[in-house]
Structure 1
Amino acid sequence: MTLLGADAYLDHIRTESARFADVLATCPPDARVPSCPDWTAADLVAHLSGVQHFWTGIIAGRPVAPVDEDAEGRAPLASYDDELARFRSTHDTFVATLAAADPAEPAWSWSGPDDQKVAFTYRRQAHEALIHRLDAELAAGQVTPLPAALATDGVHEALDVMYGGLPDWGRFTPSEHVVEYRMTDTATSIWTRLGTFAGTSPEGKVYADEPDQHVVADPGTAPALVVAATASDLDAWLWHRGDDARVAISGDDAVRALVTGLLGQPID
């Protein structure tokens, strides 16, 4: 099981957010973010500041759903230094609000019915801070590895939640093919089963035979494809923050092409 405890997630939110702010303080505001080509350093700090502000409101107002799900609705400030100061203040309020909430209490999230708890915010925001810390480091040219335990959980979260969510109006038809995502430094593997997705969204959009994959327990059979790397490199790769150079992919070529297409979708 990759899940960490609430205290561990909270510590990671603090640590990764502090690193995020410290690194961005070394960047000019117009520095480009290679992993988010449309963003500057100023855009990046405003983004995570807005996200943590939004989730402060979700936890403080639990379990009521937000009226507006826009996490970045705050007006920009006059200077980059002001934005960094607002981020640090917003972060302190967010951490204090989250630390005072029981992870088991009900709270809104955009995810499925099992994720309508404060625990969702603990986990999701640890990974949000982690990946944007990496964005900041990429902008500054100061990249450091991701913590192995958090990155291992991040691989699971990316595959299970960010790529693998199944809405209640959809259905998944599994195929015989399974994929093993193997983390070489933490002796952990996450398995997915390939298949197709179909359904009609509440807005009336029809999906039919869309390629899809969902996390499953170890099936006890040989995988059609193995994707192997350290937890840090694999988590970064799944989030499109790293190329194939540090990831070893082996197996069926057709399955590889299918998985490449699935993972090519944006999850930012």
Structure 2
Amino acid sequence: MTRLDFPTYLDHVRLESARFREALTDCDPQARVPACPDWDAADLVWHLAEVQWFWAHTVRTRPSAPDESAVRPARPTTYSELLTHFDSCSADLVAQLEAADPTEPAWSWAPEQTVGFTYRRQAHEALIHRLDAEQAAGAVTPLDPSLAADGVAELLEVMYGGQAPPWGRFEPSEHLVRIELTDVATDLWVRPGLFFGTNPESGKNHDSAHLVLTDPGEASATVSGRSVDLDTWLWKRRDDGDLTVSGDRAAYDALLAAVSTPLD
């Protein structure tokens, strides 16, 4: 499939975090982030610093779930202090991952409960927020196709899809959609559907679009494009103007419903 090895994921955490920092170093702190219009550049720095602090803490305290009472860093008051705080959080995340075996058990919010989940997830978190940073600064550079291809797979199997909670049920539709990554000669197959259930903790009923990554078959529709274009489209960072859609429009609409939730 699209999986990279763990040293490569770690290299990307380093590289994309450094590019994120570079793009924002001389950026106007009040510059808007196009994909997250409620954020300015300073908010973006704080967001990724918080994310990287949390996952460094999670790896450090593995395999226990994060302590909700743990004291989190306070947001610095100046932009330069924000950047310095990000540097510290990012360096700590890299250090914690370097010191851990990816196969070791560690908490995550997903079915995969290993340190390796954090390797992969944080490589993609850094990549997409590097793009946010460059869009805010008005200086977008190319994304790595192999990481973007794996990002498409991660979005479909983890972020938008994957295992439904045990307190509900997934009802697949008759539609099968092929996602064709034209630049890496890889196809992914997803089946959209609906998830139903009542969350036992909140008591709230859920009725939402969902999808699962599945085996190849006769597709109702095909969405084709370069890995970077597919990855950024699924992340709501770019539109579908560079993609080609063919087949049953209803199947494509079912896919769109399943990937409609914005991701920060």
TM-score with structure 1 setting the length: 0.93
- Whether 2:195 is the aligned partner of 1:183: answer no
Matches for 1:135-214 after TM superposition, within 5 Å: 135-165=132-162, 166-202=164-200, 203-208=202-207, 210-214=208-212
TM-fit CA distance, 1:132: 0.3
Match of 2:248 among 252, 263, 267: 252
2:193/2:254 contact within 8 Å kept: no
Amino-acid identity (%)? 52
SS, match of residue 46 in structure 2: helix
Q: Could you tell which deviates more after superposition, 258-267 or 31-40?
A: 258-267
AA aligned opposite 2:41: A
Q: Deviations over 1:106-129 (max 9, x none)?
A: 1000112xx111011000000000
Which runs of structure 1 show a deviation greater than 3 angstroms over 4 or more consecutive aligned residues?
none
Residues 1:226 and 1:69: Cα distance change in structure 2 (over 3 Å):
farther
1:61-72 counterparts in 2 under 5 A?
Answer: 61-68=61-68
Equivalent residues of 1:163, 1:267 under 8 A apart: no
What is the CA–CA distance in structure 2 between the aligned matches of 1:211 and 1:155, rounded to whole Å? Answer: 18
Tell me the SS of whatever aligns to 2:191.
Answer: strand
CA RMSD of aligned residues (A): 1.7
Name the counterpart of 1:80.
Answer: 79
In 2, distance between residues paired with 1:109 and 1:207? 22
Give the Å deviation of 1:146: 1.5
| Corresponding letter in the other structure for 1:248 | T
Secondary structure of 1:246 counterpart: coil
More divergent stretch after superposition (44-53 vs 256-265): 256-265
Structure 2: gaps spanning 5 or more residues: none
Distance 1:133 1:92, change over 3 A: same
Match of 1:26 in 2: 26
Once the 2 structures are TM-superposed, how far is the Cα of residue 35 of structure 1 from its aligned partner? 0.8
Deviation at 1:20, TM superposition (A): 0.2
1:266 and 1:244 map into 2 onto residues whose CA distance is: 15
Q: Answer whether contact 1:228 1:247 (CA < 8 A) is retained.
A: yes
Contact 2:193–2:258 (8 Å) recurs in 1? no
Instruction: Determine the structure 1 residue equivalent to 2:238.
Output: 242
Q: Which residue of 2 aligns with 1:131?
A: 128
CA distance in 1, matches of 2:242, 2:168: 35
Partner of 2:225: 229
CA drift of 1:67 comes to 2.5
SS in structure 1 of the partner of residue 15 of structure 2 = helix
C-alpha contact (below 8 Å) 2:30/2:42 kept by paired residues: yes
Q: Deviations over 1:53-107 (max 9, x none)?
A: 111110000011112299x953221311111111112211110111110111110
Counterpart-to-counterpart distance in 2, 1:66 and 1:29: 31
**Cα drift, residue 267 of structure 1:** 2.8
Amino acid at match of 1:234: L
DSSP 3-state at the match of 2:169: strand
Match for residue 101 of structure 1?
100
